[in-house]
Amino acid sequence: MISILKNILLFTFFALFLGIGEIKAQDTTLEPVNPPIPERVKVNNIFIVGNEKTQKSIILREIDFVTDFYYEWNTFLGIIKADQQKIYNLRLFTEVEITPLFTSADEVEILISVKERWYVLPSVIFQLADRNFSEWWTNQGRDWSRVNYGVKINHSNVGGRNEKLRFSGQLGFTKGLDILYSKPYIDKKQKHGLAVQVTYADQKTIPIKSADNRQVFYTNETEDVLRKNFNAALRYTHRRTFYNFHFLTLGYNRTWISPDVLLENPAYFQHDSNDLRYLYLQYSFRHDKRDNIAYATQGELLQLTATKYGIFYTEEIDEVEVNIVANKYFPINDKFHFATGLTGVWFLSPAQPYPLVRGIGYSPNFIRGYELNVIEGQQLYVHKNSLRYKLLDLSFDISRFMPVDQFNTVPFRMYISGNFDHGTVTDRNFLPENARLTNKYLFGYGAGLDIVGIYDVVLRFEYSLNNQNEGNFFFNFRAPF
């Protein structure tokens, strides 16, 4: 394990320095400043600099203080810190700093300095079609035909109003089209928003069931398209307070499969037709008070979701799904923090059409050490835990080589983590082919190395073991929770 970590460290630093040449590392720790401390303070004016594209109202929406009002000093410092995190979590800026500038003993001007991200990001799609990297590497034998490729265009700040526009056209293992437009605020008080999304995908190779807790894929002899899926959804959002969000989504889904699929798995749709059509209605509440939504070290996340599949016309499906996610992040000191998260999923019916099947192994529900498995059922509980130590926190100024402001500062954070996850999946049908891991207490543990870079990109290298005495090295592209 130690040798693996050494190799990762050497490879990371070699690649970093080879790619950017001579750079200067700067410690991001701020030096202490000790001005005279007032008992209370009043804000006279708020100035914003650096927002060349973003409208001022989008930034002011995150501010929890007003002008011409007196605040107790320590309370005011806490508000500034929280507001700085909220503005950063808009994911519109690479840097955010709020500075009080004293104009008298108890009066300040507020300077909000931001550094905008690059908002229009055309990119090439080149990603694995499988559940995770380990599934592709081990179970699918590093099969390059199981790769999706195409073009994606993201505009994350249309009109400077934090509107999102996404278009992607994809070929390869899964051919698809995805169009999304979201407007976070449609009213002057900035509390109500709308989003619309349309997706289409077709596949020639699809999972049709699981056996021995592994997905079973099927391709017919003539390599015809086996599944086509169309989905359209309209989502309404309500943000009453800074940290609480309500979402209401009305959508339509249609999935068509080849009759050959029903020969392999007659219960794929739970009815005789090879078409599954339904309206669905989903309500979700999210309380999000994390310091960094890409890789949190402090705060909490609570999300409750209820989905009704089948509205009005329920002959093909009549199902209810309930989800809960509760994560908490505890800072211990400047170097250590502890993250813990609980996930629960419940279906009310004893069995579901296979496209709706859930379980451990399907994102985001997993237990470390079981990345190679799918454990399917109608109820699941997962409790994930990580104790992390911040090994490095640096920022590299590469403006000599990169004249574009949005990319000339490269943050680099590295964490060592000790992990322990546990949970269970309840299969009411007690399928014998998956009995090895369903309806049993499961746990996994191990150590990892997490790297957080520019634009909050996360790389995770982990070695994990499970209570089946199986151990493996795993690589992931996002935070575990």
List the chain domain ranges: 36-116, 184-476
Helix (H) or strand (E) holding 10, with range, is helix 2-20
CATH architecture, domain 184-476 = Beta Barrel (2.40)
Judging by beta carbons within 10 Å of its beta carbon (0-12, 13-18, 19+), is residue 147 exposed, middle or buried? middle
CB 428 within 8 A of CB 378: yes
List, for residues 300-345, the tens digit of each pLDDT value.
999 999 999 999 888 899 999 999 999 999 999 999 999 999 999 9
Ranges of H-type helices in 53-122: 56-60, 73-88
Entry pTM: 0.82
The angle formed by the CA atoms of residues 195, 199 and 205, to the nearest 5 degrees, is: 150
Separation CA 80–CA 98 (nearest Å) = 7
CB 219 within 8 A of CB 198: no
CB 285 within 8 A of CB 304: yes
How many residues make up the chain in this entry?
481
Give exposure, 219-256, as e/b (b: 16+ Cβ within 10 Å): ebeeeeebbbbbbebebebebeeebebebebebebebb
Separation CA 404–CA 116 (nearest Å) = 11
DSSP state of 82: H
Separation CA 89–CA 239 (nearest Å) = 15
User: Hunting for tokens 């049709």 — which residue is that?
Assistant: 208
Phi, psi of 187 (to 5 degrees): -130, 165
* Nearest by Cα to 242 from 205, 306, 288, 202: 288
Judging by beta carbons within 10 Å of its beta carbon (0-12, 13-18, 19+), is residue 403 exposed, middle or buried? exposed
Separation CA 272–CA 270 (nearest Å) = 7
User: Hunting for tokens 């059922």 — which residue is that?
Assistant: 377
Separation CA 127–CA 101 (nearest Å) = 47
Task: Write down the pLDDT at residue 478.
Answer: 84
According to CATH, what is the number of the domain 36-116? 3.10.20.310
Give strand pairing partners of 197.
180, 233
Phi, psi of 286 (to 5 degrees): -130, 125
User: Hunting for tokens 């808009």 — which residue is that?
Assistant: 90
The 3-state DSSP class for residue 85 equals helix
Query: What are the DSSP E strand ranges found in 120-226?
Result: 120-128, 147-158, 163-172, 174-183, 192-203, 206-211, 214-218
* Nearest by Cα to 82 from 67, 65, 70: 65
Through-space distance between the first and last CA atoms of the chain, rounded to whole angstroms = 23
In one-letter notation, the amino acid at residue 301 is L
List, for residues 379-403, the tens digit of each pLDDT value.
999 999 999 999 999 988 887 877 7
Phi, psi of 357 (to 5 degrees): -65, 135
Task: Write down the pLDDT at residue 12.
Answer: 45
Q: Spell out the residues 6+ positions from residue 154 whose beta carbon is closer than 8 angstroms to its own.
A: 120, 121, 122, 123, 164, 165, 166
CB 402 within 8 A of CB 23: no
Q: Which residues of the chain have pLDDT under 70?
A: 1-36, 122-137, 139-141, 143-151, 172-173
